[in-house]
């Protein structure tokens, strides 16, 4: 074999070995700083409601409600989200206070749980596309969505002006991040699915750190404590009483 051929053959073999080993032959041993820069794809299906006067007044920004449904509405049929809560109301009467808000109602995939970081990514995306007042963003949810409300607010308290978890629960040890957040909790005393004690624990933990959260307990209600709650215009009025960054020791 001629020298030139031998050299070329050796070069090809080395290159193949480098490719097979993923470049390991060229890697420098020891400890060195590295960076991983990858785009993570997040896909969230959601219902978006815009008020009737949206876009009619230049520069006007609107309050936003982020609504989290319960376990029964998970899946890939977005219309199922209209079964309860604000999405259901928005399909009906025109005189409801919720219609003054931008309402974002995401759908959790089947067999999954609410992921706070995905919700914040969705909130960021909606806020960039639409005229959202960042100081009037409110979070609420029922059952699994109530749990998701507690979890998301504890991890990203700086994003919300007030929260209203319904028949949910959470980790009482994590409420410290919500010390100054207005909170209104709702639960049925006869709830067979999520015991009212789950909300009691969260409210008591808040009170221990100086947050006098509101707590509405329905003496005769079972798991469905959301219908009466979302039908109550006082909830939406209460939301609008609060803006992000306004420190409060009480939910008023």
Q: Could you report the per-residue pLDDT of 134-143, keeping only the tens digit for each?
A: 999 999 999 9
| Same structural domain, 136 and 111 | yes
Task: Indicate if 190 and 88 belong to the same structural domain.
Answer: yes
What is 90-106 written as a DSSP string?
Answer: HTS-S--GGGGSEEEEE
What is the per-residue pLDDT across 115-160, written as a single tens digit (0 to 9) for each? 999 999 999 999 999 999 999 999 999 999 999 999 999 999 999 9
Q: Is residue 131 part of a domain?
A: yes
Same domain as 87, residue 1: no
Q: Is residue 252 part of a domain?
A: no
pLDDT band at 31 (very low <50, low <70, confident <90, very high): confident
Domain that holds residue 3: 1-34
Q: Give a yes or no: residue 224 inside a domain.
A: yes
Q: Are 172 and 209 in contact (CB under 8 A)?
A: no
Q: Does residue 30 share a domain with residue 127?
A: no
221 falls within a domain: yes
Whether 60 and 24 map to the same domain: the answer is: no
Same-domain status, 24 and 61: no
Is the domain of 14 the same as that of 58? Answer: no
Choice between 112 and 22, residue whose per-residue pLDDT is larger: 112
Considering the domain boundaries, does residue 15 fall inside one? yes
Q: Are residues 125 and 152 in the same domain?
A: yes
Q: Is residue 250 part of a domain?
A: no
Residue 204 and residue 236 share a domain: yes
Q: Tell me how far apart the alpha carbons of residues 114 and 119 are, in angstroms, rounded to a whole number.
A: 8
3-state secondary structure of 225: coil
Q: Are residues 28 and 93 in the same domain?
A: no
Judge whether 245 lies within some domain: no
Measured CA to CA, the distance from residue 163 to residue 154 in angstroms comes to 11
Q: Is residue 246 one of the residues assigned to a domain?
A: no
**18 and 131 fall within a common domain:** no
Per the rule left: phi > 0, alpha: psi between -120 and 50, beta: everything else, 145 is alpha
Same domain, 62 and 169: yes
Indicate whether 13 pLDDT > 60.
Answer: no
The confidence score (pLDDT) of residue 41 equals: 80
pTM of the shown model? 0.83
As for how many domains the chain has, the answer is 2
C-alpha–C-alpha distance, residues 252 and 176, integer Å = 19
Q: What is the CATH number of the domain that holds 210?
A: 3.40.50.1820
């Amino acid at each position: 074999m001629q020298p030139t051929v031998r050299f070329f053959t050796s070069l090809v073999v080395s290159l193949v070995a480098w490719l097979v080993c993923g470049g390991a032959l060229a890697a420098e041993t020891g400890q060195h700083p590295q960076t991983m820069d990858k785009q993570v794809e997040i896909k969230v299906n959601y219902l978006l409601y815009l008020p009737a006067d949206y876009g009619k007044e230049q520069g006007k920004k609107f309050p936003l409600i982020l609504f989290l449904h319960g376990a029964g509405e998970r899946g890939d049929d977005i219309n199922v989200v209209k079964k309860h809560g604000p999405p259901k109301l928005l399909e009906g009467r025109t005189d409801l206070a919720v219609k003054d808000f931008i309402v974002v109602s995401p759908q959790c995939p089947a067999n999954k749980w609410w992921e706070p970081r995905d919700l914040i990514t969705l909130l960021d995306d909606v806020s960039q596309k639409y005229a959202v007042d960042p100081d009037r963003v409110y979070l609420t949810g029922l059952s699994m969505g109530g749990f998701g409300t507690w979890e998301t607010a504890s991890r990203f308290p700086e994003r919300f002006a007030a929260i209203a978890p319904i028949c949910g629960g959470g980790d009482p040890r994590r409420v410290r991040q919500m010390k100054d957040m207005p909170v209104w909790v709702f639960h049925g005393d006869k709830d067979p699915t999520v015991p009212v004690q789950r909300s009691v624990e969260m409210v008591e933990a808040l009170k221990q750190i100086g947050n006098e959260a509101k707590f509405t307990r329905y003496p005769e209600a079972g798991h469905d404590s959301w219908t009466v709650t979302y039908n109550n215009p006082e909830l939406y009025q209460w939301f609008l009483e609060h803006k992000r960054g306004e420190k409060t020791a009480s939910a008023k």
